[in-house]
Amino acid sequence: MSTSSRKILILCVDRDADLTKKAGIKGPVIGREACVKAGVKLLTVDPEEADANAIFGAVREYDRAIQQYGDAEVQVATITGDPRSENYADAEVERQLTEITSEFKADLAILVSDGADDEKVLPLLHSFFPRVFVRRIIVQQSRELEETYFLLKRYLKKLLESPGTRAYVFGVPGAVILITSVLSIFNLQKYMWSTLGGFLGILLMERGFSLKKRFSRIRDAFGRGLGRMTFWIGLIGLGYTFFREYLLISELVAEMDFLRLIGKIFIDSSSYIMLCVIVMVLGGIVEAWFSKKRRELHQRIFSMATIISLWVIFYALGLYLIGEYGMLAFILSTLVSFSFSGIVLSLLSGISRLGRTLSKR
């Protein structure tokens, strides 16, 4: 490709949006003059801000590209992320990249970076540009001990200003201390390591599998207002039910064989679990009814019918395992529960078709 047809974009990415927080400038900042003004304003507010060095590094790289590539069309821009979280930051960076590329479709992007955090956007940049180069800006510091101390202090302060990092630096040790103290108050020190292990295991799983996001999606599926409140009420009820069953297992494990114990648990817990889950779904049904969201209403009514059917099956299975039901009674109970769900589904489908027919008229 000839240099006359080449388009080059020099990018500086302020992923944690220091430019917005400190200087009040929201990206994208496009053009050499605008980037210089933004960098000067940021340095005026905070002379130690490393992102200002990256902005001026991008301007320098722009000047070099103008000289090196001759007649190529070169542009420089600074984009800002979002300080709330990495997901918000990536979404904002993607939005600003879309805005820039709608006006300047470059075939080469040069990312000027001051650290590994800003380079996390590289996969995103590759989705916008055929080729991406990286130029790193390293701020030189004196080797004397005093200046090293202040440098470490500055980066530690910046680290602790991040809400996500602060939660792990202070939140996790605080939770460990609290768990240890509570167990000591109730003289339950023997459960200390298992409790701490479970807590840290959940924490690592949350980071690895994004459990918070998954849980939020499940919670939102039950509704927003009333549905969210009944979701929490039902969840607390489920927690109590599981604790109750744990106590029952501890009491009966030495007295019953395995199958009878499982049957006793099914009989004892299925009704409580059904009631808790119905409470969780009920709020969403009321919400969908008043907001006239017919599809969500039908889905949640069918969910409630499915819950009742599963309750019948597990309750009958429990009676079969302890010997109070024969195989025939269990099979009939299962067929009845499936039939109930099928009837509810057929009724809801008929109501939906009738509603569509009436709306067309």
In order along its 361 residues, the chain shows pLDDT tens digits of: 444 568 899 999 988 888 999 989 988 999 999 999 999 999 999 887 878 888 999 999 999 998 888 788 999 999 998 888 888 888 999 999 999 999 998 989 999 887 656 677 888 898 899 999 988 876 554 445 546 666 777 777 766 666 667 777 777 888 888 888 888 888 888 888 888 888 888 888 877 777 777 777 877 777 778 888 998 999 999 999 999 888 888 888 878 888 888 999 999 899 899 999 999 998 888 888 888 888 888 888 888 899 999 999 999 999 999 988 899 999 999 999 999 988 988 898 888 877 777 666 6
pLDDT at 196: 85
pLDDT at 147: 60
Q: How far apart are CA 340 and CA 255, in angstroms?
A: 37
pLDDT at 211: 74
Q: Is the pTM of this model over 0.85?
A: no
Tokens of 187: 């003289």
